[in-house]
Amino acid sequence: MGDCLKKKFFVLLTLVLFCLTPLFTLYAAEEAAPDFSKGMLLFSDSNYKEALKSFEQSYKIDSKSDDTLYMLALTQMKLENYSKASEHFKTLIDKNPGYTKAYQDYGISLYIQGKYQEAIPIFEKSLELEPKNPQPLFYQGLAYYFNGDKDQSLNLLNRVAKSAGDTGLGQNAQSWIEKIETGDVPLLTAEKKSKWSLVGAASFFYDSNVSLDPDAEDVADLQTNQEEIMGSGALDVRYRLLEKGPSKLYLGVNAYQTAYADKVLADVDMNRFNYGRYIGGADWHYLISEKVQFRLPIFYYYSILGASRYVQSGVGDAAVDVVWDKSWATTFTGEIRRDDFYANPGNVSQNRDALKMTFSGEQYFFFPQNRNRYLKIGYKFEDNFAKGADWDYVASHILFTSQNPLFWKLNFLALADIIPLRKFKHVDSVFNVQRGDFSFTATGTLSRELVKHLSASLNYTYYKSSSNIARYTYTRQLAGFTLTTAF
């Protein structure tokens, strides 16, 4: 009898809760309504910061409201918090796949962040739900272009131009078609909108010749072609502090550190060859027009060159980027750099100050069918004015870069730096001759994205130096594997 009463009580309780649940939901919705209405008024008055507070309060009370979540996402878009907006839109369509209008806005939030590959299927879903709305098709066409598929981009934009006719959207689509076909595309404005960017990398290398080019150290205990294995780590963090009109101001920090394993040369202190570089500074960009950009980066460097040798540097650049027609662009850069070198008491001859001035010009050639494939050719002249030691010289660099997407989503990057002559201005204090060097550096990197935010690459670098001083004539090879994450 007791068990029977328990069962009846449980059934009754379940029925009561089932009946009360809609009442609780209705009560939450009624409680949230004033905040939601206030948020809508503030939103219509373009007071997005206060509107966000109201929508957040409303959503705390009634987290089941799809409309509130949608307005939360839309307000974050207005405040240019695109990453947060994307999170809200994704939560909404995961909860309610039939919330039609969220797809287009979700796709736009991804597009603005430069996440073109993610945006494309979202626009496709929006078109599936709203086949008569040409807006998602327009943005999908642009996303295809900036993702490297020119043909598909033109196909979709032509469909928009045909269906939208003389409307503003149709005219905009036609304008983009003309720009893409002639190569007259404002590439400089196609930047990611996220304020933060972070790149981290970990590498493992085989170094065929770690001990050469010793910067005048006593290396009598070492032989040529000393090999060793090495690990390195790098971190780059960037923040867009200001964006007002054509001006943008970025702050950034960068760190890089090597660590030799000390396995092959077990009897040698490998700390004397480890290298660390730490950078912090600001980078100001000013968009003069759709095709011309001025940049002014200013940075402070602190480097560790092996055991008890340090360099601190102040660097200021001035650069102009010009995007021309026919898929080509040019960058001109001038740089002034002040270096202060410090060495341990046993190597005080290397203490010196140096002022270096450089000028460079680089020409980019983009392939019309795929903007991820390009060729860059450049020239750089540097003049190093050093006080102390034997490091005052002039040099010219011939630079080559090529990037080529391959099969299986592989990407190949090749770089070369040729110095026909680094000519030193004075007679070397040790060898009593005027030094002159030729050097050649070639690097190849084969990379592939493994999963979102994570890629892997195989790297190989060959370096050769020829000099009239035997100490500075050698070859060096590095081969390794790198994992990189980027957000």
DSSP secondary structure, 377-434, as one string = EEEEEEEEEEESTT--EEEEEEEEEEEEE-GGGEEEEEEEEEEEEEEEEEE-TTT-SE
β-partners of residue 198 are 237
Collapsed DSSP state (helix, strand, coil) of residue 202? strand
pTM over cut 0.75: no
Q: What is the DSSP letter of 301?
A: E
10 Å CB burial of residue 14 (0-12, 13-18, 19+) is exposed
Q: What's the half-sphere exposure (Cβ side, CA atoms, 13 Å) at 80?
A: 9
In this prediction, residue 392 carries a pLDDT of 84
Bridge-based pairing of strands 309-323 and 454-467 is unpaired
Supply the pLDDT for residue 194: 64
pLDDT at 351: 65
- pLDDT recorded at residue 223: 47
Domain ranges, ordered by start, for the chain? 2-187, 188-486
The pLDDT of residue 345 is 55
Other beta carbons less than 10 A from residue 253's beta carbon: 14
Reply yes or no on domain 188-486 having CATH 2.40.160.40.
yes
Please identify which residue in the block is written with the tokens 């590439």: 187
User: Using CA atoms, how far apart are residues 266 and 227, in angstroms rounded to an integer?
Assistant: 11
* Confidence at residue 55, expressed as pLDDT on a 0 to 100 scale: 82
> Which residues, including other chains, have CB under 8 Å from residue 440's CB and lie 6 or more apart?
416, 417, 418, 419, 462, 463, 464
Question: Which CATH code is given to the segment(s) 2-187?
Answer: 1.25.40.10
Q: What is the pLDDT along the chain (487 residues), one digit of tens a residue?
A: 445 544 444 444 444 334 444 433 444 445 546 777 787 888 888 888 888 888 888 888 877 788 888 888 888 988 888 888 999 999 988 988 888 888 889 999 998 888 888 899 999 988 888 888 888 889 998 888 888 788 888 898 888 888 888 888 888 888 888 877 766 555 444 444 567 888 898 888 887 765 544 444 444 444 455 677 788 889 999 998 887 777 888 999 999 888 877 665 555 566 666 778 888 999 998 888 767 889 999 888 887 766 656 677 777 888 888 877 667 888 999 888 887 776 655 555 556 677 889 999 999 887 766 667 889 999 999 998 877 667 788 999 999 999 888 888 888 999 999 999 999 888 877 778 888 899 999 999 999 888 878 899 999 999 988 888 877 787 888 888 998 888 7
Helix axis angle, 101-112 to 116-129, nearest 10°: 160
The reported pLDDT for the residue numbered 270 is 61
Residue 350 C-alpha from the chain's centroid: 36
